[in-house]
Structure 1
Amino acid sequence: MGRFSKMHGLGNDFVVIDARETALDMTEARAMAIADRHAGIGCDQLILIGNSDRADVSMRIFNSDGSEVEACGNATRCVPLFIGRDVLIETKAGLLDAKAVDGGASVDMGQPRLEWDAIPLSYAMDTLTMPVSWEDLPAPVAVNVGNPHVIFFVDDLDGVNFDRLGPLIEHDPLFPARVNVNFAQMVGDNHIRLIVWERGAGLTRACGTGACATAVAAVRRKLVSGPTTVSLPGGDLVIDWTPGGHIMMTGPATHVFDGEADWARF
C-alpha cells in the first residue's frame, strides 16, 4: 500500500504521492488510471515527489491523459504544504523556490523564455505579436514559463468557444510540443480574467503557469504595470514580473484528505 494526499490549488486538483522512501514506477497508463475520476482516485494532475541531489525534493507532473509535463504552478504551491516547510523543488523546468504563506504559497517561477525556438514554435516569428491566428481571434503572444503557452487578449471572454478553439490550437503543427491555450480579458487596472485550455487536460478551473504566462504577456503588451491579479474560474492569483526578472506567483493551496492505495492495481 502507498500513501497519497489529495490537494488542490484554486480547484486544479492533484493526487500527490511521496516516492522518496519507496520508489514508484510511473508509466503513462498508471498515471491515467490513477487520474481517472470514475475508476481511479481522480485528479487533473498526478504529482510524484522524489529525492533530489540538487534541491530539497524533486517533482514530476503527469496530466490526466498520462503525458508528463515540465511545470505546474498550482501543484508547485501545494508542495510546501505537503512537505510541511519551505522547499527548493527540482522540476523538468528547473529549480523552483516555494515558500509557505498564509493559506497557500509564493513561488519563484524563474525567468520566462520569449524566443520563438524556446516556446517552441515550428518556425521563426515575433512572439509578442504573432503573425498568425485562428478564426476571429486576435494575434496572440507566446511565452514559455517552463512549459509552452499562447495567450489571446480578447474583448469578450464569454463569446469564445473554448471547447472548439482549445484543442484546435493545442494540436496545431505550429506548436511541436503542443501548447497551453490562454484566453484573457482585461477587466480592470492590473486585473485580468483568464480561461485556460490546458495541454493534455482540457479546460481547467485554474492554471498557475497560464496565469504567469498571461501576466508576462500583458506586461510585454504594456496592458499592466506592477503586480497583477489574474482571476480564474477557481479563484485569484497574484503575479509579479518585471522584464529581465523572475516571475513571482502567490496564491492558495489546499490539503483535502489523505489516503492509501495499492499502486499495483493501477
Structure 2
Amino acid sequence: MPPMTQQNPHTSLPFMKMHGLGNDFVVIDARVRTHELSAKLVTAIGNRHCGVGFDQLAEITLRAGTPHLTFYNSDGSTSAACGNATRCIARYLMDESGATDLTLTTDRGTLPTIDAGNGLVSVNMGHPQLNWDEIPLAQDVDTLALPIDGAPSATGMGNPHCTFFVPDAEAINLAARGADMEHHPLYPQRTNVQFASVVGKDHLRMRVWERGVGVTLASGSSSCATAVSAARRGLTGRSVQIDLDGGTLHIDWKDDGVWMTGGTSYVFDGAFTANWLRANS
C-alpha cells in the first residue's frame, strides 16, 4: 500500500472568522488569495456542521485602490449591506494600516468608518431609503405603516427591512413570524424582519430574523432600519441604544447618514483545503 500523501491545509484558501455581537462572519481577504465563490461553495462554507458556519460571508477586494466588500448570506444569496461585518473588517484593516479612519465601498455605496475608541468601531451606513420603490416594495404604499397586520414600517439600508413595534419583543415567536414575513409578497426581494419594543427613553430592545439566514444574535443594518423607523414614528429621538440578543449597538441618524457604533471580535484564522474546495465548488 503506497504511503499517504500529507497535504498542508494552509496551502489553499485562508479565511478569518469574526463576529460583531454574535453576528458571525467568514471573511476572505481576496487581496491575498482568491477563489471563485459560487452559491454552492458559499452554502457549503456556511454549513455549521460540514463547513465553518456564518451569518454572512464577506470578501475583501480592491477597486481603484479602495477596499471593496461583497457580502453573501448563508443560503448563497448576496446582500448589498452588512453593517456588523463592515465594522469588523474596518477594525482589521485599521489594525493592518495603523489608520484611525478609512473608507470602504460596498454595493450599498461608500461607507466611512472610524475608530471610536475603547475597542469600538463606527460606520456610516448611508442615508435610509424611505420611498417604496427604493426599498423596494411591490407597490406604492405608506412605508411608515404597511398594510400588513401589525402595521410594520419598511426601510431600505441597502437591503430591505420590515420592522414591527410590539409591547414585548421577548414574547415573539421569532422563528415562525420571521420566516413567514421574509417572503411576504409586498417584498419582491424578500426582507429582513425586526421586532422591537421601547424599554426607555431612546432605548429599544430588538430581535432579528435575517433574510437568507434566519434568527441572528444581531444585525447592524436591521438596527439602523429600526432606529430610523422608531424616530419616524416619534417613539424615540434620532440617537438610540438598541439591545440585541448578542449585545448593544448605538445608532445615530445624522444629517450625513445613519452611524452605527459597537464592538468587534476577530476570533481565529483558518484555511480551506484544496480537496474540500474542489468537492464543494
Q: TM-score, normalised by structure 1?
A: 0.94
Once the 2 structures are TM-superposed, how far is the Cα of residue 161 of structure 1 from its aligned partner? 1.6
Contact 2:227/2:238 (CA < 8 Å) preserved in 1?
no
More displaced 10-residue stretch of structure 1: 204-213 or 22-31? 22-31
Tell me what 1:174 maps to.
186
Q: Distance in 1 between matches of 2:152 and 2:33?
A: 44
The aligned counterpart of 1:22 is: 33
Tell me the amino acid that sits aligned with residue 125 of structure 2: M
Q: Which residue of 2 aligns with 1:50?
A: 61
Residue 222 (structure 1) aligns with? 234
Aligned to 2:83: 73
SS at match of 1:186: strand
> 2:247: which partner in 1?
235
Offset, 1:61:
0.7
Distance 2:134 2:22 in 1: 29
1:86-120 alpha-carbon deviations (Å, 9 max, x no partner): 33111111111122233131001110010011111
SS in 1 for 2:85: helix
Give 1:245 shift.
Answer: 3.9
> Structure 1 residue 132: deviation in Å?
2.1
Report deviation, 1:226: 4.0
Structure 1 letter corresponding to 2:248:
D
Give the C-alpha shift of residue 248 in structure 1.
0.6
Distance 1:253 1:235 in 2: 11
Among 99, 103, 107, which residue is 1:88 paired with?
103
Task: Please give the alpha-carbon distance, in whole angstroms, between the structure 2 residues aligned to 1:38 and 1:192.
Answer: 34
Q: Is the 8 A contact 1:128 1:142 kept in 2?
A: yes
Matched, 1:199 2:211: yes
Give the structure with higher Rg (CA). 2
- CA shift at 1:130, angstroms? 1.6
Of 110, 120, 125, the residue aligned with 1:104 is 120
**Percent pairwise identity:** 46
Q: Distance in 1 between matches of 2:132 and 2:271?
A: 44
- Give the corresponding residue for 1:123: 139
Which segments of 5 or more consecutive residues in structure 2 lack a partner in the other structure?
Answer: 1-11
- 1:190 Cα offset (Å): 0.3
What is the CA distance between 1:172 and its match in structure 2?
1.2
CA distance in 2, matches of 1:237, 1:198: 17
Q: Report what 1:149 is aligned to.
A: 161
Matched to 1:88, the amino acid is: T
Q: How far 1:188 moved relative to its partner? A: 0.4
> Which 4+ residue blocks in structure 1 deviate beyond 6 angstroms?
none
State the Cα distance separating 1:44 from its structure 2 match: 1.3
Determine whether 1:36 maps to 2:47.
yes
Give the conservation status (yes or no) of the 8 Å contact 2:80–2:158.
yes
Q: How does 1:239-250 map to 2 (within 5 A)?
A: 239-242=251-254, 245-250=256-261
Do 1:182 and 1:196's aligned partners in 2 also have CA atoms closer than 8 Å?
yes
Structure 1 residue 170: Cα displacement? 0.5
- AA aligned to 1:66 is G
C-alpha distance in 1, partners of 2:83/2:77?
Answer: 17
Q: Structure 1 residue 22: deviation in Å?
A: 2.9
SS of residue in 1 equivalent to 2:257: coil
Q: CA deviation at 1:45?
A: 1.1
The amino acid that maps onto 1:211 is S
Q: Within 2, Cα distance between the matches of 1:262 and 1:89?
A: 29
RMSD of aligned residue pairs (Cα, Å): 1.3
CA contact (8 A) 1:104 1:254 kept: no
Match in the other structure for 1:208: 220
What is the distance in 1 between the residues matched to 2:120 and 2:49?
A: 29
- Which residue type is aligned with residue 139 of structure 2? Y
Match of 1:139 among 151, 158, 174: 151
